[in-house]
Structure 1
Amino acid sequence: MNPAEPAAPETPTDTTPTDTVTRPRRRGLRTVGLIAVAAVLGLVGGTAVGYRIQADREPTPLPALNQAGLAYPAKPLPKGEGPEPLSAKEDLQSKAQGDLRKLLLPRPKGARADGKDGWQPLDAYADGFTLPDRALEDELVSGVRRIATRAWLVGEYKRIQINLVQYRPDSRLGAFEHTTEQQRIAASEGKSASLGHEVKGSTNGRYYIYPVRREAGYLDAYEARAFIQRGDIAITILMYDTHKIAESEIRSLAERQLGRL
């Protein structure tokens, strides 16, 4: 061999070309892409056709907002053909516009009157609160109209007081605000065993029973309260005794007083 000549390449023992190795084909991707494109085109085309059909149609008129059946008659109904006025029993508001004192529960047999019975001045009513000046201002702002009160004694120590506080019709929900505020105070004082119990027949009335208060040199003190709203009237029932107050007693008082309204 001539040393100047290049050496001949060695013949590979493996005759299979390395750059022609077969790889698995990723089937389906192109087919899925074509289907997706076709679906989009079909959706766009269908929407366009739908708009075109709707545009060619005559507009459908909407029904009238007013209903002839609800219109008032052009002339008053003949005498005797109009609706009958509500009776005093059916017209609940008529009760509240009458003598409010007549809606107070009567004193039970054998009970003795204790304090004011009937109309109560606003300043005297406010004096029953911890902060009389603040209470007076709040009631005036809330549009208080009049207050009817009845209190009585049973035996030597049991005392019950009921207040019906009525607010003006154009006031800002005075009865509702008064009732909810008194309930909030009753629940936050920490003396009530619970957040109160619902008064049957009311929308937001609740009554509270407090644990006994004991202090050296004094008789045990028990207390129960009820706060109920009925229209523009806020009902407050306060009960004090030196013996335990039964839940049924304050509940019955609350339900019966609400029933009179």
Structure 2
Amino acid sequence: MPVELVEPVEPVASVTPEPAPEPEPRPRRRRGRTTLLIAGAAVLGVVAGTCTGYVVQAGRAPTKLPSLSQPALAQAKGPAPEPLSAAQDRRVRTDGDLRKLLLKKPAGARYDGALTGNDGWMDLADYAETFDKPGSVFGELISSEYRRAAVTGWDVGSTYGVEIRLIQYRQEETMDASVDSKDQQYWKDLKAGTDSWPIPGTGDGMVYVHSRPEHKPGYLPQYNAEAVAWRGDILLEIYVWDITKPVPKAKVMDVAKRQMERL
């Protein structure tokens, strides 16, 4: 069988598509130009407005100021009102003789001469000496506007006694009576074996009874109870002691309530 000759066909070269041209990068945007222009225009507007205001104000006639002297007021007819009594104004009582506000000793008791020997007054140095660190307390009392203090105390027999102090502050800047009351209450609460109760009608006044006796060289063990409260510019401190047994709560509470009623 005849064989048909076929002309050889040249292989067609594979055509690779040319890559698309990359887009030209956009120019980077200059940020802030428009913002700066707006801000600059706003500043110029404010400056222009201020200058205009000064110009307008300068062209106006000066405003006449009111006279410093006021017309005298006619006094009301009738007698002048009498000042408030001590019963109506407690400041009248506290600005007077502070010692008169202290409780009197009960029948059968005798005044403690060590407390009342200075005519019932306690100066700044004497009061500072009642603290453990009188030197530092002296400066603190000056800063606290210490004004004066009245003190009294009495003994019942040889086993029981009471001391009452009224400390008055000037209080021209702060309520120092209240501040010192809270400070003392904080430290009294830290004593071991201490029970405390609020004094009725005093807001935050407190009574403290220490069930553990205090020991000092050369002295018999002593049980103590205390009370701290304040009213207006006066800080109240009460100390009750007994060398035979713990001081009953009722005893120190009674002294505290009766003393606060006099303030």
Would you call these one fold, judging by a TM-score over 0.5? yes
Q: Is the 8 A contact 2:85 2:92 kept in 1?
A: no
Can you list the C-alpha shifts for 1:100-158, whole angstroms capped at 9, x where unaligned? 01111111122122212111121111111111112211111100000101121111121
Decide whether aligned partners of structure 1 residues 191 and 131 sit closer, same or farther in structure 2, where only a CA change above 3 A counts: farther
Deviation at 1:230, TM superposition (A): 0.8
Q: Is the 8 A contact 2:227 2:256 kept in 1?
A: yes
- How do residues 1-261 of structure 1 correspond to structure 2 at under 5 angstroms? 75-80=74-79, 85-114=83-112, 115-117=114-116, 118-193=120-195, 196-213=196-213, 219-242=220-243, 243-261=245-263
Q: Is the 8 A contact 1:160 1:239 kept in 2?
A: yes
Decide whether aligned partners of structure 1 residues 214 and 137 sit closer, same or farther in structure 2, where only a CA change above 3 A counts: closer
Letter of the 1:121 counterpart: D
Can you list the C-alpha shifts for 1:183-230, whole angstroms capped at 9, x where unaligned? 01101223313xx21111212211111113276997542111000101
| TM-score, L = length of structure 2 | 0.65
- In the alignment, structure 1 segments of 5+ residues that lack a partner are 1-73
Secondary structure of the residue that 2:251 maps to in structure 1?
helix
- Structure 2 distance, partners of 1:217, 1:140, is 34
- Structure 2 distance, partners of 1:150, 1:182, is 20
- In the alignment, structure 2 segments of 5+ residues that lack a partner are 1-72
Deviation at 1:171, TM superposition (A): 4.0
Letter of the 2:211 counterpart: P
- Structure 2 distance, partners of 1:76, 1:206, is 49
Secondary structure of the residue that 1:116 maps to in structure 2?
helix
Q: Is the 8 A contact 2:228 2:238 kept in 1?
A: yes
Decide whether aligned partners of structure 1 residues 85 and 126 sit closer, same or farther in structure 2, where only a CA change above 3 A counts: same
Matched residue count? 186
Same amino acid, percent of matched pairs? 34
- Structure 2 distance, partners of 1:161, 1:87, is 29
Decide whether aligned partners of structure 1 residues 94 and 121 sit closer, same or farther in structure 2, where only a CA change above 3 A counts: same
Larger radius of gyration between Structure 1 and Structure 2: 2
**Structure 1 runs of 4+ off > 6 angstroms?**
214-218
Deviation at 1:76, TM superposition (A): 3.7
Decide whether aligned partners of structure 1 residues 119 and 217 sit closer, same or farther in structure 2, where only a CA change above 3 A counts: closer
| TM-score, L = length of structure 1 | 0.66
Moved more, 238-247 or 89-98: 238-247
- Structure 2 distance, partners of 1:105, 1:191, is 29
Can you list the C-alpha shifts for 1:71-109, whole angstroms capped at 9, x where unaligned? xxx6443224x7654222111111000000111111112
Q: CA RMSD in A?
A: 2.3
